[in-house]
Every structure is written in C-alpha cells, then in structure tokens.
Amino acid sequence: MRRVAPLLLALLLPRLAAAEDPAQLRAALVDVNVAAQPWDQGSPWQKQPVQQRSGQGVVVEPGVVLTLARLVTDAQLVEVSVANSARRYPARVKHMDLAAGLALVEVTDEGLRGQLAPMKIGEPARLDDEFDLYQLGADNMLQRYTGRVVSASAEGARLLLRLNTTLPAGGDGQAAVRDGKLLGLVWGTRGQEGTLLSVETIRRYLDDLADGSYAGPPGPGLWVQPLLRDDLRAYYGVAPEQHGMAITRIVPGRTGDGVLKENDVLLAIDGYDLDDEGRFMHEVHGRLDSDYILRGRRNAGEKVRAKVLRAGKVEELELELRAQSAAQTLVPDRFASARPQYLVVGGLVLLPLTRDQNFSRRSPGATVLRRYTERDGWDPKGERKQVVFVDHVLADIANKGFETLSCAVVESVNGQRIGALADVARALEAPQEGFHVFRFEGAESDFVIPAGKLAEIDKRIARTYRVSRLSCLEGDEG
C-alpha cells in the first residue's frame, strides 16, 4: 500500500509530476557562442575590438536554433555547443530581426545536426503559471531553474512576461519548458526578476519566416494620448460610456496613414475594446498595451478593423499594418550589422543621425541631436531624409580653428540644402568661387576649404589618421 500511493498520485496528476525528458532537452537546448565585431561609430571606417558573447538557444527546426537577435548582431564567428560536451560546432546566422528580438542560427556541422531534435512550441503561459527554465552552465551541464509568471507587457513588437525566477542574473535566451514544449526564451534577469519573450512573439516570427519571405512586425506610427482627463474627453467629444485614446499624430507611410486622422479617438482595434489608457483585456495575459495589437500580434501587411470616434460619429475603418521600412524615418535605428554610412571631408567626420548613437558629450549640439531623435521620424520642416551632422573633426592645418567642432548639424553645403549624406557628396561637385562652404544650424561659423586642394587635404588626413576609406554612402554598405 505504501508503495502504491505515490504511483496512484502520479497517475492522477500526470501533468504536475511529469519531469521533462532529459534526453529531449539535451537534443534541443544549445549554448550559442559569438565573437562579434560591431563597427566603430565614431571612426566608422574601422571596427571595434572583438566582443565575446554567449547565450542560449533552442532547436526549432532540424539543425536550426532560435536565439536572441542581440546575441548575434555583428557576428564574425558563431559556434554552438550541447550538454555534456565541451566541443564547439560551427554555425551561421540564418536570419535576424531586432524588432522581434529573435534570430535563427543554422548549425553547419552535419554530425551535430544529426544529434539535434527540434522542440515544439507550446501554448502561452498564463499569469501565475510555474515552469522550468534550463541553462547550459559553464561546466556544460544542463541546469534547471524555476520561474513563475507575474505579469505581461507589450514592448514595441515584443510581448514579454515578467517572471519571478531563480535563474541567476544575466539571462540570455534560456528556454522555458513545460511538457516538452517551449514556453519562451529568457529576455533578461536581474535579482529575483526575469522577463521571458513570449510564445506569441516567437510564433509570429517563425510563421512570418515560414513562407520564405519575412514581412517583419509592423513599425510604430501612431502618437496617442490617454483619455483619463475630463478636459481632454470633452475636447475630443468622448461620451462617458466611450473609452479609448486620442490620436495626436500619424507618421507618414506608417499604420493609419491615409485612414486615421489627427483628433480621431481609437475605441477598438481588431475586436478588442480599448480603455482610456489605450489598453485592452487580453484573454490570456490580462491588461496589455494596444501596441501589442498594432505591432506584436500580426505581420506587416495584414489588415485589422478599427472602431473610431470621428467628429461625434463612430466609424468602422480598416487599417493596414505597415512595416518599419514603409516610412523613411528621419532618425532610424541603425540596421544591425550594416556598415555605417559616413563621409570624411576636410577632416570633418560626417554621419547621418541614428538612434543608437551615444551623445554623452555635454555640448549644446548633443541636446539638439537628442531632440531630433525624440521626434521619431518626424522632420518638422519635412525636407530631410537624414539629419547629417559633424561627429568630430580630424584636426589638420586645413581645418585649423574647427578642431573642437562637434554635434553640428549640417544645414547646407555650397548653398545646397542637405537632406541626406548623399546630398553632401553631390553638393561637393559645385564649389562656390573655388571653395566648399559648409553651413551649420545655429550660431556656428561656416567651414570652408579650397576646392582645388580638397583631394590633397583628404589624402593627407587619411594618411595621418590612418583612415582606410573616406566614405561609405547609401548603397556602398557591405
């Protein structure tokens, strides 16, 4: 009897007691090691020192590992290893999307491919669900930790579950597993807290890739205001029983452009009613930001229905979800691993402004550049495709007096307005009275350089500062 009781319990509660199959885990969970070399933003003709990164991944197709995109950006060398072995096997990045936060790595070693077996994607974890998290330790042993879902939140195109977890800090791509199925990849951990990239985000990414072409998640595009305040509710004409968020701006080319209007109030999207903070009740995850509907659930190109209050009347509209790339963004995220665009002229190092640039220097110019970044693809004057600025100056006799110029936005070159880095190259073909004249925004002196001597000056500067290549314009990347 004593021996039968546990057995009976096990039969009655098979799910609770079922331990994961170690052999299956060992065949699906891998360690991803990456040697990466990002471009050096300040000196974009060269690369930064090599960074070693390591994280984890899960085999989702034969020989293909799903992992976090940030692990494999700018990768020079990708290797994977499996449990109980110190051996590393060659692999390569098959696909990567920073917006989704995910990447696929293909194992190129035939021997290892045979040992690996894909893990199925499970159903979404609910609030308060508990499950195991696995990590390949430094000793190549499979370690088991636990996690419990505390809450869910939408962050851009990603749906993240907040965990209470025993996993140590610094988590990167560890698998959450229940009943042999994947519940998510660890996005990060700190103390007792962790975040898990949800199954929904993983499914959207894999389904999008399934047909061979990747549409990507829709990009941001709507600027909204919550409608908790009675003055704004009155201003937008929202009845007490109506709830939603007011639209204050629509980024040209993005979701809603041509369909929604400023001062529309978005009441419902894709069948979900919004509340006055623009959130909705999700059937599994509870209260989520509407970003999840607009960016996280579907692929770019899909359509959703929207219920809108416009001029006192409720209207049903159809929105096409548009990709990030559908609009020219004034200040883009640099496409990961892509070669940065730049131009060195007379010692001025000219760059287009991107979001990942780091202006820790406390100059007034840095504040101006940060303000461009905040405006999210919006050129108030509507004349630019890029914000071109002088990052720093490679000092030379030719640019004497301008050694400390930094963060200066280029307004015109030789009288031609500069709306992109390529415009600078074009404008240099037409000097003014024998000089190239750079004009900057704000109270800055013009920078001039004799046109006839530019080639010689550039050559000298390239030699002095060992600049291997003086320009990389759009289309030159690679």
Q: Give contact residues for another protein (rule: CB under 8 A).
A: 223, 225-226, 228-229, 231-232, 234-235, 248-249, 364, 367, 370-371, 374-376, 397-402, 433, 435, 437, 442-450
Q: Which residues contact 66 (CB under 8 A, 6 or more apart)?
A: 57, 58, 59, 60, 102, 103, 104, 185, 202, 206
Quote the least distance from Cβ 432 to another protein, whole Å.
8
**Token digits of residue 403:** 């050694």
For the chain, helix (H) and strand (E) counts, in that order, are 11, 29
Scan for tokens 């939408």, then name that residue. 154
**At its nearest, how many Å lie between another protein and the CB of residue 144?**
44
Report in angstroms how near the CB of residue 331 gets to another protein at its nearest.
Answer: 12
Count Cβ neighbours within 10 Å for each residue of 15-53 and write b for 16 or more, e otherwise: eeeeebeeeebbbbbbbbbbebbbbebebbbeeeeeeeb
- The distance of closest approach from Cβ of residue 318 to another protein in the complex, given in angstroms and rounded to an integer, is 26
Measured distance CA(274)–CA(277) in Å, rounded: 8
Q: Which is nearer to another protein, 28 or 227 (CB)?
A: 227
Query: Whose structure tokens read 């950006």?
Result: 73
The nearer residue to another protein, 206 or 232, going by C-beta atoms, is 232
Name which of 61 and 444 has its Cβ closer to another protein.
444
Quote the least distance from Cβ 250 to another protein, whole Å: 12
Backbone angles phi, psi at 229, to 5 degrees: -80, 135
CB of 270 to another protein, least distance (A): 23
Q: Which is nearer to another protein, 3 or 400 (CB)?
A: 400
Task: Pick the closer one to another protein by CB: 102 or 410.
Answer: 410
Q: How far is the CB of 397 from another protein (least distance, A)?
A: 8
**CA-wise closest residue to 173 among 135, 200, 202:** 135
- In 3D space, the residue among 444, 428, 453, 416 whose CA is nearest the CA of residue 343 turns out to be 428
- Strand runs (DSSP E) across 312-406, as ranges? 313-320, 342-345, 348-352, 388-393
Angstrom distance (rounded) from CA 16 to CA 187? 26
Compute and round to an integer the Cα radius of gyration of the chain: 27
**Nearest Cα to Cα of residue 331 among 387, 254, 286:** 387
* Shortest reach from residue 263's CB to another protein, in Å: 11
> Which residue, 12 or 311, has its beta carbon nearer to another protein?
311
CB of 126 to another protein, least distance (A): 31
**Shortest Å distance, C-beta 396 to another protein:** 11
Closest to another protein by CB, 259 or 395: 395
How many residues in the chain? 478
C-alpha angle 350/477/453, rounded to 5°?
40
For another protein, the closer CB: 170 or 434 = 434
- Helix ranges, 125-169 (H): none
Q: Nearer to another protein by C-beta: 205 or 447?
A: 447
* Consecutive H or E run containing 107: strand 102-107
Residue 95: both structure tokens together: 């696909």
Sequence-distant (6+) residues with CB within 8 A of 218 are 157, 254, 255, 294, 295, 298, 299, 300, 321, 322, 323, 324
Choice between 14 and 401, CB closer to another protein = 401
Q: How far is the CB of 204 from another protein (least distance, A)?
A: 27
Q: Which is nearer to another protein, 172 or 396 (CB)?
A: 396
